[in-house]
A and B are shown apart, each in its own frame.
Chain A
Amino acid sequence: MSNSLQAKEKQELAASGEQIKPGPVFIPAADIFETDKAIVLLADIPGVKTKDLNIDLRDNTLTLEGEIMPFEGADESAVLTEYNVGKYFRQFTLSEVIDQSKIDAKLTDGVLRLTLPKVGKATPRKIAVTAG
Chain B
Amino acid sequence: MIMRRLFDTPAWRPNLFEELEQMRQRMSRFYEEPGKTTRRAGVFPLINVTENKESYFIRAELPGMKADEIDISATADSLALSGERKIPAEDKNVNYHRRERESGNFSRMFSLPSPIDASKAEAKMTDGILTVILPKAESAKPRQIAIR
Residues of A that sit less than 8 Å from B by CB = 2-9, 29-36, 40, 42, 44-49, 71-73, 75-85, 107, 109-111
Given the known inter-chain contacts A4-B106, A33-B90, please indicate yes or no for A83 contacting B100, CB distance below 8 A: no
Q: Which of B49, B56, B97, B103 contacts A34 (CB 8 A)?
A: B97
Closest to A24 in B: B36
Closest to B127 in A: A110
Q: What residues of A have a CB within 8 angstroms of the CB of B46 in the complex?
A: 7, 9, 82-83
Q: What residues of B have a CB within 8 angstroms of the CB of A49 in the complex?
A: 127
**Closest CB of chain B to A40's CB: distance in Å?**
8
Q: What residues of B have a CB within 8 angstroms of the CB of A77 in the complex?
A: 50-52
Contact A72 B57, beta carbon cutoff 8 Å = yes
Given the known inter-chain contacts A34-B97, A109-B63, A109-B64, please indicate yes or no for A78 contacting B44, CB distance below 8 A: no
Contact B102 A83, beta carbon cutoff 8 Å = no
Q: What residues of A have a CB within 8 angstroms of the CB of B66 in the complex?
A: 109
Is B78 in the interface zone, CB < 8 Å from A?
A: no
Interface residue SS majority, chain B:
loop
Contact B129 A79, beta carbon cutoff 8 Å = no
CA distance A47 to B129 in the complex (A): 6
Of B98, B100, B107, chain A has the most CB atoms within 10 Å of the CB of B100
Closest to A27 in B: B100
Interface residue SS majority, chain A:
loop
CA distance A78 to B90 in the complex (A): 40
A-B contact pairs, 19 of them (CB 8 A): A5-B45, A7-B45, A7-B46, A32-B96, A33-B95, A34-B95, A40-B90, A44-B128, A46-B127, A71-B59, A71-B129, A76-B57, A77-B52, A79-B56, A80-B47, A82-B39, A82-B46, A83-B47, A84-B36
**Closest CB of chain A to B37's CB: distance in Å?**
6
Q: What residues of B have a CB within 8 angstroms of the CB of A34 in the complex?
A: 94-95, 97
Identify which of residues 35-76 in chain B touch chain A, using a CB-to-CB cut-off of 8 Å.
36-53, 56-57, 59, 61-66
Contact B41 A8, beta carbon cutoff 8 Å = yes
